[in-house]
């Protein structure tokens, strides 16, 4: 049934309007914007006879065709009547975008329950109220009032629409992409679990991400997680981890207290990636999107900046990760490419003069070495010796390409976010880049844990 929301044959926007200052206009325009959309769009409007050249209906009951999904944007006081009409029209699903229910007061919670019961009796599924809507990026369906993210392999369920919006902005910056998005708001009917199961079956979804503020049935959620994790990685970000956060969440989505520590350890136990903050959440999505899994946990590091490898080494300890031991064989391979001053230890400090050639050769040697499972080339982009600002990064990525991207590479460019050429090359190559030692070490940790989850818990082999 959830599939109907993401692949409807027809959608009606109830509360459509030509007034660009209203959300009913935003959803309408987002749906109409895509000329190639195969979904039929019907507009139900009180005030506008026509919107962007498309005729409107006075009521959903006036539409002379079946309607799969009704998106409701009328003011809260009219929602009940509109729901009755939707039931009469025999829609399959309803998205209530309108706010002003359970997140406001007890009265609102009661209204929600009534609506939920009515729809349940009619066999109609409901998302919302108090949400921005849903999106299926694969087919260009934007049934929400926020922007479509770039197309990709991450699907997301979020209890905050604006969290989705902020994540999409960052996906653009980080060259990540989304397949499907659902903001379920106060979630009076359709649950996290159902959407997660749908994402699990969805062939375009490789990574599942969740922003949640509360959870009504922790046991069911964890069961679903355990079911999904062997197949697809799940990245979880919780809002309302603390008392203060919970209080804010109760105003936001009418959330009930959820013990974060219990949720967190259970989700970790199930093999999910649990993120403590927004930056980590994005780092997790980037890591899982861009990188293959390692076969082991031995990390090989090179650098032109002693400070960067020192800071990265601190993070290695913090995340309880392992340094690779350089074999004699590897040392012999690397030595000819380095100046005599270089000490052949891990992290390998190639010193400030190292350029593209050194980064290419050393990165390739490490990628080809059987005792190294993850390669972390660090760089502070040098402003000296006529070096090109992107040559070091290009050296790393060309080595990665020449070894068929079989092993994960975690390029760490400290302070490198300033360099457009580097970021553009990363984007063009669909290659990873990280800008702080914390992010780079977290990426290593996420890959290793994912590999361990698959091997230890689920007996899967990484190949």
Q: Which of 48, 56, 135, 158 binds its own copies (CB under 8 A)?
A: 158
* Residues between 101 and 140 with contacts to its own copies, criterion CB under 8 A: 103-104, 132
Closest CB to its own copies among residues 289, 304: 304
Angstrom distance (rounded) from CA 239 to CA 274: 12
Angstrom distance (rounded) from CA 360 to CA 381: 15
E strand intervals along 122-254: 125-127, 133-136, 141-144, 151-158, 178-183, 207-212, 234-238
Angstrom distance (rounded) from CA 124 to CA 120: 6
In this structure, are residues 191 and 216 in contact, taking their beta carbons and an 8 Å threshold?
A: yes
Angstrom distance (rounded) from CA 145 to CA 22: 10
* Residues between 39 and 98 with contacts to its own copies, criterion CB under 8 A: none
Among the residue ranges 120-128, 144-152, 221-229, 455-463, the one whose residues contact its own copies (CB under 8 A): 144-152
Contact code string over 4-23 relative to its own copies, x by CB under 8 A: ----------------xxxx
* Residues between 386 and 445 with contacts to its own copies, criterion CB under 8 A: 386, 414-419, 436-438
Tell me the closest approach of the beta carbon of residue 418 to its own copies, in angstroms. Answer: 4
Closest CB to its own copies among residues 57, 323: 323
Angstrom distance (rounded) from CA 30 to CA 317: 47
Closest CB to its own copies among residues 75, 123: 75
Tell me the closest approach of the beta carbon of residue 161 to its own copies, in angstroms. Answer: 8
* Residues between 271 and 330 with contacts to its own copies, criterion CB under 8 A: 277-279, 304-318, 323
Among the residue ranges 121-129, 168-176, 223-231, 289-297, the one whose residues contact its own copies (CB under 8 A): 168-176
Tell me the closest approach of the beta carbon of residue 414 to its own copies, in angstroms. Answer: 4
In this structure, are residues 302 and 348 in contact, taking their beta carbons and an 8 Å threshold?
A: yes
Residues 6+ apart with CB under 8 A from 360: 395, 396, 398, 399
In this structure, are residues 346 and 381 in contact, taking their beta carbons and an 8 Å threshold?
A: no
Closest CB to its own copies among residues 57, 260: 260
Q: How far is CA 379 from CA 301, 356, 362, 392, in A?
A: 11, 11, 13, 7
DSSP 349-389: E--TT--HHHHHHHHHHHHH-TT-SEEEEEE---SSTT--T
CA nearest to 78, candidates 107, 118, 126, 46: 46
Closest CB to its own copies among residues 332, 417: 417
Tell me the closest approach of the beta carbon of residue 14 to its own copies, in angstroms. Answer: 18
Closest CB to its own copies among residues 86, 160: 160
Contact code string over 182-201 relative to its own copies, x by CB under 8 A: --------------------
Tell me the closest approach of the beta carbon of residue 62 to its own copies, in angstroms. Answer: 27
Q: Which of 383, 404, 461, 463 binds its own copies (CB under 8 A)?
A: 383
Tell me the closest approach of the beta carbon of residue 37 to its own copies, in angstroms. Answer: 18
Tell me the closest approach of the beta carbon of residue 334 to its own copies, in angstroms. Answer: 15
Residues 6+ apart with CB under 8 A from 203: none
CB atoms within 10 A of CB 204: 17
Closest CB to its own copies among residues 292, 306: 306
* Residues between 201 and 260 with contacts to its own copies, criterion CB under 8 A: 211, 213, 239-245, 247-249, 251-253
Closest CB to its own copies among residues 233, 254: 254
Tell me the closest approach of the beta carbon of residue 3 to its own copies, in angstroms. Answer: 27
Angstrom distance (rounded) from CA 192 to CA 355: 49
Closest CB to its own copies among residues 317, 424: 317
Tell me the closest approach of the beta carbon of residue 7 to its own copies, in angstroms. Answer: 24
Tell me the closest approach of the beta carbon of residue 304 to its own copies, in angstroms. Answer: 7
Angstrom distance (rounded) from CA 13 to CA 41: 8
β-bridge mates for residue 51, sequence order: 54
The 3-state DSSP class for residue 38 equals: coil
Q: Which of 77, 151, 173, 335 binds its own copies (CB under 8 A)?
A: 173
Would you count residue 26 as binding its own copies (CB under 8 A)?
yes
Tell me the closest approach of the beta carbon of residue 255 to its own copies, in angstroms. Answer: 9
């Amino acid at each position: 049934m959830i599939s109907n929301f993401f692949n409807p044959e027809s959608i009606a926007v109830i509360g459509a309007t030509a007034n660009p200052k209203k959300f009913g206009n935003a959803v309408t325009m987002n749906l109409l914007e895509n000329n190639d959309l195969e979904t039929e769009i019907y507009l139900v409007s009180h005030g506008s006879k026509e919107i962007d050249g498309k005729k409107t209906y006075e009521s959903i009951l006036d539409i002379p065709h079946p309607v799969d999904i009704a998106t409701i944007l009328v003011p809260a006081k009219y929602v009940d009547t509109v729901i009755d009409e939707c039931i009469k029209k025999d829609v399959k699903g309803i998205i209530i975008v309108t706010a002003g229910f359970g997140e406001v007061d007890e009265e609102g919670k009661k209204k929600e329950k009534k609506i939920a019961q009515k729809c349940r009796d009619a066999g109609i599924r409901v998302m919302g109220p108090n949400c921005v809507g849903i999106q299926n990026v694969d087919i260009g369906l934007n049934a929400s009032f926020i922007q479509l993210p770039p197309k990709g392999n991450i699907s997301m369920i979020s209890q905050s629409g604006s969290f989705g919006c902020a994540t999409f902005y960052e996906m653009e910056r980080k060259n990540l992409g989304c397949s499907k998005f659902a903001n379920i708001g106060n979630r009076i009917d359709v649950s996290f679990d159902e959407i997660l199961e749908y994402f699990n079956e969805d062939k375009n979804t490789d990574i599942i991400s969740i922003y949640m503020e509360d959870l009504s049935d922790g046991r069911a959620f964890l069961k679903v997680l355990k079911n999904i994790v062997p197949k697809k990685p799940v990245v979880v970000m919780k809002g309302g981890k603390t008392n203060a956060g919970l209080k804010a969440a109760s105003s936001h989505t009418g959330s009930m207290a959820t013990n974060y520590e219990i949720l967190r350890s259970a989700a970790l136990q199930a093999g999910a990636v649990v993120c403590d903050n927004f930056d980590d959440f994005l780092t997790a999505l980037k890591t899982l999107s861009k990188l293959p899994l390692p076969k082991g946990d031995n990390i090989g590091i090179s650098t032109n900046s002693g400070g960067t490898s020192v800071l990265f080494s601190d993070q290695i300890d913090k995340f309880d990760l392992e340094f690779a031991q350089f074999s004699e064989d590897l040392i012999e391979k690397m030595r000819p490419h380095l100046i005599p001053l270089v000490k052949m230890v891990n992290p390998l400090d190639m010193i400030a003069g190292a350029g593209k050639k050194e980064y290419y050769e050393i990165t390739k040697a490490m990628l080809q070495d059987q005792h190294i499972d993850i390669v972390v080339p660090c760089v502070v982009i040098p402003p000296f010796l006529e070096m090109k600002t992107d040559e070091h990064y290009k050296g790393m990525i060309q080595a990665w390409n020449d070894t068929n991207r079989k092993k994960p590479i975690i390029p760490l460019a400290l302070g490198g976010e300033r360099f457009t050429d580097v970021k553009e090359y990363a984007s063009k190559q669909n290659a990873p880049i990280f800008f702080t030692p914390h992010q780079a070490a977290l990426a290593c940790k996420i890959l290793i844990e994912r590999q361990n989850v698959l091997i230890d818990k689920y007996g899967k082999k990484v190949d």
